[in-house]
């Protein structure tokens, strides 16, 4: 398993394949990604790489963080993410990670924070069927119905699917195929949708369930 990277979701577009088929794609731009730290088995007990992205003003950093980044001779980073790797060979602190880290035709997993939907009912949040349109049902057609028995169990169980806050949750889309790499603009183009709104940050890693 190689290291992943931090990208920004630009938005969605269309991509025409050679046969003329039009497929929906998502554009992910890699900005200012650098290797910030390397964890080794001898020192930390496991192997991992810490990636930093997006420059951060020194005035907004603590003194320990300023000293940490000054030793690396790179500008402070706003986002830090650790990726487990099978080998740290060929990776050096301060080395930039570009979109060409991945290749066209390979499969990746993209993790992000879903778009917030606010307070949602049972039908929208959990795909409940709702109550009948007639047969005595009045005013409560979109309600979730009974939530617990009267005598046994006589209470509502924990984690019962009900109306509530929807969205703003960590979500991973797996096995997304890369159709193209724009090395000039540092953009990765993947088939399908990706969690999050425009401008949100996502983490891109090699697919763990499907290898190219």
pLDDT digits (tens, 9 = 90+) for 89-136: 778 888 888 999 999 999 999 999 999 999 999 999 999 999 999 888
CA distances from 52 to 72, 83, 123, 175 (A): 12, 11, 40, 24
Q: Kindly state the tokens that stand for 170.
A: 């960590």
Question: Which phi and psi angles does 58 have, rounded to 5°?
Answer: -65, -30
Pairing of β 201-206 and β 107-113: antiparallel
pLDDT of residue 179 exceeding 90: yes
According to the model, what pLDDT value does residue 20 have?
86
pLDDT at 212 > cutoff 60? no
User: Where does the pLDDT of residue 189 fall: very low under 50, low under 70, confident under 90, or very high at 90 and above?
Assistant: very high
Residue among 135, 138, 109 nearest 204 (CA): 109
**What are 8-40's pLDDT values in tens digits?**
999 999 988 888 889 999 999 998 888 988 888
Residue 210 reports pLDDT greater than 80: no
pLDDT tens per residue across span 38-57: 888 888 899 999 999 888 88
> What are the boundaries of each domain within the chain?
5-110+168-206, 117-166
Per-residue pLDDT band for 187 (boundaries 50, 70, 90) equals: very high
- pLDDT value at residue 211: 59
Instruction: For residue range 134-176, list pLDDT tens digits in order.
Output: 888 999 999 998 888 778 888 899 999 999 999 999 999 999 9
How many angstroms separate the Cα of 11 from the Cα of each of 38, 48, 135?
32, 30, 46
The whole-number pLDDT of residue 124 equals 96
User: What fold, for 5-110+168-206?
Assistant: Elongation Factor Tu (Ef-tu); domain 3 (2.40.30)
């Amino acid at each position: 398993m190689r290291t992943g990277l931090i990208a920004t979701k630009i938005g969605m577009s269309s991509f025409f394949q050679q046969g003329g088929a039009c497929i929906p794609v998502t554009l992910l731009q890699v900005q200012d990604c650098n290797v910030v730290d390397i964890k080794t088995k001898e020192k930390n007990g496991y192997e991992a790489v810490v990636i930093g992205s997006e420059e951060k003003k020194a005035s907004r950093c603590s003194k320990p963080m300023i000293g940490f980044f000054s030793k690396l001779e790179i500008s402070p980073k706003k986002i830090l993410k650790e990726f487990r790797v099978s080998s740290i060979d060929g990776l050096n602190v301060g080395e930039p990670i570009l979109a060409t880290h991945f290749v066209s035709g390979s499969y990746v997993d993209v993790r992000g924070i879903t778009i917030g939907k606010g307070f949602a009912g049972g039908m929208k949040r959990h795909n409940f069927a709702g109550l009948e349109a007639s047969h005595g049902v009045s005013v409560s057609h979109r309600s979730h119905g009974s939530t617990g028995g009267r005598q046994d169990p006589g209470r509502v169980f924990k984690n019962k699917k009900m109306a509530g806050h929807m969205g703003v949750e960590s979500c991973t889309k797996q096995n997304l195929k890369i159709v193209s790499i724009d090395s000039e603009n540092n953009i990765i183009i993947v088939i399908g949708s990706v969690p999050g709104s425009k401008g949100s940050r996502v983490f891109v890693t090699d697919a763990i369930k499907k290898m190219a």
